[in-house]
């Protein structure tokens, strides 16, 4: 089954101009290389003084432009988005997924497909081990992004369903999941998991995602996970652990970078085990346990 509930319908399109600039972002680099070649040729073979001077000046100018172009591209394509509030999740994440590459960078920090695939290994290992995912399980991932985890996890479960608020993320997930038999993508149009009936899954998880939500929305998803799980079903949620040294370092780095600045709405907010343990037990889960895998903390819970 590769059933897509029209995630691409209504996908906001990236402007043609912006797309053109992004596709040609290699130009400053190529221009710098070509102008240095011209300078060396003029210098060693032709020895024509004006040409040597002009090519040296062009080479310096192009190198300067090359040096700044990466930063400029990042600023142009990853704007601060401070015009949005954190809770405008759809707008924020559609903007962060303006192109396929930016979508994968926003989802996992990787640009190339090989990087995306290798970035998922420890995540899948942790999930399989902690949530005890088997080939009989129907699994739901909340905030699935480009299907980084689903593509791998689908081979270890009966089915994997990925849901997300961002139509653009889902469009890239659809591309990446082509050819898989047991995956499904669902676009969340309203808050929570209203698109799913009660008792439809054996495992629900959210990875690398709750850090972008405020606390009320984190809690709502845990409550909703309880509803859509079957009896005996398991929940796995994770976040960077503020109580670990590595997590604390990430937090203090953010404090240094964003201390005086307006904070972008996608800036991660970390958790402690206590926060997630409270959500899970208050939602009605039993067997609630915390597992520290620095810099992350996982909370696993069972619907009895």
Ligand X SMILES: C[S@@+](CC[C@H](N)C(=O)[O-])C[C@H]1O[C@@H](n2cnc3c(N)ncnc32)[C@H](O)[C@@H]1O
Instruction: Give 175's Cβ-side CA count (13 Å radius).
Output: 14
The Cα 216–Cα 223 span in angstroms is 11
Binding footprint of ligand X, residue count (CB under 6 A): 21
The Cα 40–Cα 37 span in angstroms is 5
The Cα 210–Cα 90 span in angstroms is 14
Distance in Å, CB of 49 to ligand X, minimum:
55
Show Cβ contacts of residue 136 under 8 Å, excluding neighbours closer than 6 positions.
158, 202
Task: Tell me the two tokens of residue 127.
Answer: 């999930």
Nearer to ligand X, 101 or 217 (CB): 217
CB closest to ligand X, residue no: 145
User: From the list 31, 124, 144, 280, which residue makes contact with ligand X (rule: CB under 6 A)?
Assistant: 144
**Position 104 contacts ligand X (CB under 6 A):** no
Contact code string over 214-253 relative to ligand X, x by CB under 6 A: ---x------------------------------------
Nearer to ligand X, 32 or 140 (CB): 140
Sheet containing 229-240: give its strands across. 2-5, 183-187, 159-164, 138-142, 201-206, 229-240, 296-302, 286-293
Nearer to ligand X, 140 or 142 (CB): 142
Interacting stretch for ligand X, rule CB under 6 A, among 29-37, 141-149, 239-247, 269-277? 141-149
Distance in Å, CB of 148 to ligand X, minimum:
4
Closest CA to 92 of 83, 100, 101: 83
For residue 278, count CB atoms less than 10 angstroms from its CB and return exposed for 0-12, middle for 13-18, buried for 19 or more.
middle
Show Cβ contacts of residue 279 under 8 Å, excluding neighbours closer than 6 positions.
218, 219, 222, 223, 237, 299
- Hey, what's the torsion of the CAs at 146, 293, 276, 253, to 10 degrees? -80
Across the chain, which distance is largest between two alpha carbons, in Å? 84
Contact code string over 154-173 relative to ligand X, x by CB under 6 A: ----------xxx--x----
The DSSP-derived string for 192-258 is TTTTS-TT-EEEEEE-S-GGGS-HHHHHHHHHHHHHHEEEEEEEEEEEEBTTSHHHHHHHHHHHHHH
Distance in Å, CB of 284 to ligand X, minimum:
21
User: From the list 7, 28, 145, 247, which residue makes contact with ligand X (rule: CB under 6 A)?
Assistant: 145
Nearer to ligand X, 52 or 149 (CB): 149
Distance in Å, CB of 67 to ligand X, minimum:
29
Distance in Å, CB of 194 to ligand X, minimum:
12
Contact code string over 177-206 relative to ligand X, x by CB under 6 A: -----------x------------------
Contact code string over 105-134 relative to ligand X, x by CB under 6 A: --xx--------------------------
User: From the list 59, 127, 130, 149, which residue makes contact with ligand X (rule: CB under 6 A)?
Assistant: 149
User: From the list 52, 133, 148, 247, which residue makes contact with ligand X (rule: CB under 6 A)?
Assistant: 148
Query: HEC states along 178-191?
Result: CCCCCEEEEECCCC
Nearer to ligand X, 217 or 254 (CB): 217
Residue numbers at the binding site for ligand X (CB under 6 A):
89, 93, 107-108, 142-145, 148-149, 164-166, 169, 188, 207-209, 212-213, 217
């Amino acid at each position: 089954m590769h059933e897509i509930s029209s995630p691409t319908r209504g996908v906001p399109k990236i402007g043609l101009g912006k797309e053109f600039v992004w596709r040609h972002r290699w130009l400053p680099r190529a221009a710098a290389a070509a102008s240095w070649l011209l300078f060396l040729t003029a210098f060693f073979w032709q020895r024509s003084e004006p040409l040597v001077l002009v090519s040296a000046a062009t080479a310096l100018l192009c190198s300067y432009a090359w040096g700044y172009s990466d930063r400029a591209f990042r600023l142009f394509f990853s704007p601060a988005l401070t015009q949005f509030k954190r809770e405008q999740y759809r707008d924020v994440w559609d903007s962060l997924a303006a192109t396929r590459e930016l979508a994968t960078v926003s989802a996992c920090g990787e640009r190339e497909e090989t990087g995306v695939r290798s970035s998922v290994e420890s995540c899948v290992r942790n999930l399989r081990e902690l949530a005890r995912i088997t080939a009989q399980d129907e699994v739901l991932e909340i905030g699935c992004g480009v299907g980084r985890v689903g593509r791998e996890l689908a081979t270890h479960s009966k089915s994997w369903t990925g849901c997300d608020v961002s139509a653009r993320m889902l469009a890239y997930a659809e591309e990446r999941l082509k050819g898989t038999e047991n995956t499904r993508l669902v676009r969340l149009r309203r808050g929570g998991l209203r698109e799913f009936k009660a008792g439809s899954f054996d495992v629900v998880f959210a990875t690398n995602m709750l850090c972008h939500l405020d606390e009320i929305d984190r809690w709502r998803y845990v409550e909703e996970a309880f509803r859509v799980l079957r009896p005996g079903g398991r929940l796995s949620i994770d976040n960077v652990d503020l109580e670990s040294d590595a997590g604390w370092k990430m937090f203090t780095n953010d404090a240094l970078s964003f201390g005086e600045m307006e904070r972008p709405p996608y800036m991660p907010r970390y958790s402690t085990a206590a926060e997630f343990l409270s959500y899970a037990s208050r939602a009605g889960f039993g067997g609630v346990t915390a597992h520290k895998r620095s810099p992350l903390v996982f909370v696993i819970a069972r619907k009895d």
